[in-house]
Structure 1
Amino acid sequence: MTFAVPVWLAVHELLLEEEAAEKENSTCFDEFNDAALFEYFHLTRPCIAFIVDAVRIRMKTVSCKKPSPPVDAFVMVALNYFAHGAFSPLVVQKVGSCLHASLTSVASSASGVIAGMSDVFISFPLTAEARIQNAAVIKEFCKIPNVLGAMAPAQFKIRASPYEKEFFKSFINAQGFTSVVSQFICDSQGNILSVEKCCVGSTSEQELWESSFKGREVEEDLHGPYWLIAGSGYLLGKHILTAVAKPETNEEVLFNEAHAKMLSVMQETLDLLKRRFRCLMQLGFTEEGSLNKKLNTIKACSVLHNIALKFSVPPPARAGKAESLYSGKQLTAETSSDALMARKELINKNFSEPRSQDFL
Structure 2
Amino acid sequence: MSFALPVWLAVQEELLGNGGADFGAPSCFDEFDDEALFQVFNLSRPCISFILDAARIRMKTLALKNPTLSVDEMVMVALNYYAHGVSSPCVLQRVGQCQTDCLAIMSTVSGVIAGMSDQFISFPLTHEAKKKVAFKTEKLCRIPNVLGVLGAAHFKIRASPYETDTFRGFVNTLGYTSVVSQIICDSDGNILSVEKCCVGSTFEQELWESSFKGREMEEEIHGPFWVIAGKGYNLSKHVLTPVAEPANDSETSFNEAHTKIHDVMRTTLGSMKRRFRCLNQLGFAQENSLAKKSNIIKACSVLHNIAKKFSVPPPSDAGQIEPLHPGKQRAEPDINPEALKARQKLIVANFLKVSSTRNPPSKGIAEEVVSVAGVLSVSGSKEVVNVDP
Pair in the same fold by TM > 0.5: yes
Structure 1 partner of 2:198? 199
- Equivalent residues of 1:268, 1:323 under 8 A apart: no
In the alignment, what sits opposite 2:310? 311
Which residue number in structure 1 is paired with residue 371 of structure 2?
A: none
Which residue of 62, 65, 70 maps to 2:63?
65
Unaligned runs of 5+ residues in structure 1 are 355-360
Letter in 2 for 1:151: L
Cross-structure match for 1:358: none
Determine the structure 1 residue equivalent to 2:12.
12
* d(CA) in 1 for partners of 2:58, 2:120: 12
> Which residue is equivalent to 1:137?
136
- Separation in 2 of the partners of 1:23 and 1:237? 48
Amino acid at match of 2:131: I
Q: Which is worse superposed, 208-217 or 225-234?
A: 208-217
How far the C-alpha of 1:96 sits from its partner, in A, is: 1.6
Range with greater deviation from structure 2 (261-270 or 247-256): 247-256
Q: Deviations over 1:186-207 (max 9, x none)?
A: 0000000011100000001111
C-alpha contact (below 8 Å) 1:188/1:262 kept by paired residues: yes
Please name the residue that 2:329 is paired with.
330
- Alpha-carbon distance, 1:262 to partner: 0.6
CA contact (8 A) 1:173 1:328 kept: no
The 5 A counterparts of 1:59-98 are 59-60=59-60, 63-66=61-64, 68=67, 69-96=69-96
- Does structure 2 conserve the Cα–Cα contact (< 8 Å) formed by 1:270 and 1:323? no
The letter of the residue matching 1:180 is V
Please report how far the alpha carbon of residue 78 of structure 1 lies from its aligned counterpart in structure 2 after TM superposition. Answer: 0.2
Q: What's the counterpart of residue 3 of structure 2?
A: 3
Q: Structure 1: how far apart are the matches of 2:128 and 2:321?
A: 35
Distance 1:197 1:334 in 2: 23
CA distance in 1, matches of 2:62, 2:139: 43
Rg: which structure is higher?
A: 2
Q: Which runs of 4+ in 1 moved over 6 A?
A: none
Aligned length: 350
Q: Distance in 2 between matches of 1:121 and 1:348?
A: 37
Tell me the distance in 2 between the aligned counterparts of 1:114 and 1:323: 26
Residue 11 of structure 2 aligns with an amino acid whose one-letter code is V
Q: How does 1:319-358 map to 2 (within 5 A)?
A: 319-331=318-330, 332-352=332-352
Contact persistence 1:114–1:303 (CA under 8 A)? yes
Instruction: Report the counterpart of residue 358 of structure 2 in structure 1.
Output: none
**Which fold has the larger relative contact order, with Cα–Cα distance below 8 Å and residues 6 or more apart in sequence?**
1
Query: 66-75 or 294-303: which moved more?
Result: 66-75
CA distance in 2, matches of 1:95, 1:260: 46
Q: 1:211 to 1:20 in 2, by over 3 A?
A: closer
**CA deviation map 1:273-311 (0-9, x unaligned):** 100000000001121111000000000000000000000
Q: Distance in 2 between matches of 1:24 and 1:351?
A: 53
Query: 1:35-88 CA deviation, whole Å, 9 max, x = no partner?
Result: 10110000000000000001112234xx32356221111110000000000000
**Aligned partner of 2:89: which letter?**
P
1:151 alignment counterpart:
150
Residue in 2 aligned with 1:43?
A: 43
SS at match of 1:221: coil
Counterpart residue number, 2:124: 125
Q: Distance in 2 between the 1:177 and 1:25 partners?
A: 45
> Is the Cα–Cα contact under 8 Å of residues 19 and 56 in structure 2 kept in the other structure?
no
Pick which of 139-148 and 21-30 moved more.
21-30
Contact 2:59 2:71 in 1 (8 A): no
Pairing 1:185–2:184 present: yes
Task: Quote the Cα distance in structure 2 between the aligned partners of 1:115 and 1:222.
Answer: 25
Aligned to 2:113: 114
Residue 360 of structure 2: aligned partner: none
One-letter identity of the residue aligned with 1:253? T
* AA matched with 1:215: G
Q: How does 1:125-274 map to 2 (within 5 A)?
A: 125-274=124-273
Alignment check: 8 A CA contact 1:117 1:303 kept: yes
Asked whether the equivalents of residues 155 and 179 of structure 1 are also in contact (C-alpha less than 8 Å), the reply is yes
| CA displacement at 1:353 relative to structure 2 | 5.2
Matched residue, 2:369: none
Q: Give how far 1:163 is off.
A: 2.8
The one-letter amino acid of 1:65's match is: A
Q: Which amino acid aligns with 2:30?
A: D
2:307 partner amino acid: A
Greater share of helix: 1
Question: Which residue identity lines up with residue 226 of structure 2 in the other structure?
Answer: W
Which residue of the partner structure matches residue 300 of structure 2?
301
Question: How far has the Cα of 1:238 moved from its partner?
Answer: 0.9
Question: 1:120 and 1:141 mapped to 2: Cα distance?
Answer: 27
Q: 1:315 Cα deviation (Å)?
A: 1.3
SS of equivalent to 2:96:
helix
